[in-house]
Amino acid sequence: MRPDSQNVTDYTNDNTIFLVWNFKENLAVRDTFHRVCKLLINLNNSANVRFPVSRASCVMGIGHDAWLRLGLPEPLPKELVNFSPITGEKHTAVASHGDLHFHIRADTTSICYDMAAAISDVLAPVAVSAEEVHGFRYWDSRTILGFVDGNHKVIGRLDEVSEQLKMMLDCQKHMAETGESGLH
């Protein structure tokens, strides 16, 4: 069976959950891994049949160490290596260990939660959740993928934001000292 490529950048969604799991030491994990693989096929098929307009999908990535532990086919994919920190002039992207990585996305939040819960139920006996990050579109419907690019708009207004924060803290302090609720 030849695996089909999974589309991860064809379109954006309103909601996403990123999960990272690490296998527990000294446990057999291969059978559970096969269960998770079958589960993902079922989750994707079920979401596409039941909610065709939701654009729901779940993509799984396998870390270098997990690939070896699971005895998956060799030679390993050329780019499959343990993630190393990426150090820039100002910032560093840290390297978190992860055996299994999941990118769940849909236009409906409940589908993302349901997929994450099903994956967690299968993995919990043999693995530990190392990371769970939720993303969503905010009120103005900007995509979560553009968040970093949009920061330049905020950086230029930090003095204004700082002044507003100071006023809010002054108000909270006054209300705490006087017992006023701030509502009239």
**DSSP H helical segments within 86-140, as ranges?**
109-123
Q: How many domains does the chain have?
A: 2
Could you give the residue numbers annotated as active site?
149
Residue 182 lies in domain: 145-184
Specify the DSSP element, H or E, that contains 61: strand 57-62
- pLDDT above 60: residue 155: no
DSSP 46-60: HHHHH-TTS--EEEE
Please state, as a whole number, how many other Cβ atoms lie within 10 Å of the Cβ of residue 135: 16
**pTM passes above 0.75:** no
The pLDDT tens digits of the residues spanning 58-116 come to: 999 999 999 999 999 988 888 888 888 888 888 887 777 899 999 999 988 899 999 99
Question: Tokens at residue 154, please?
Answer: 């905020």
- Residue 177 and residue 111 share a domain: no
- Residue 38 and residue 91 share a domain: yes
The pLDDT tens digits of the residues spanning 11-62 come to: 667 788 999 999 999 999 999 999 999 999 999 999 989 988 888 889 999 9
- Residue 103 and residue 176 share a domain: no
Specify the DSSP element, H or E, that contains 100: strand 100-106
The pLDDT tens digits of the residues spanning 133-147 come to: 887 765 555 555 544
pLDDT for residue 141: 56
Residue 160 counted as domain residue? yes
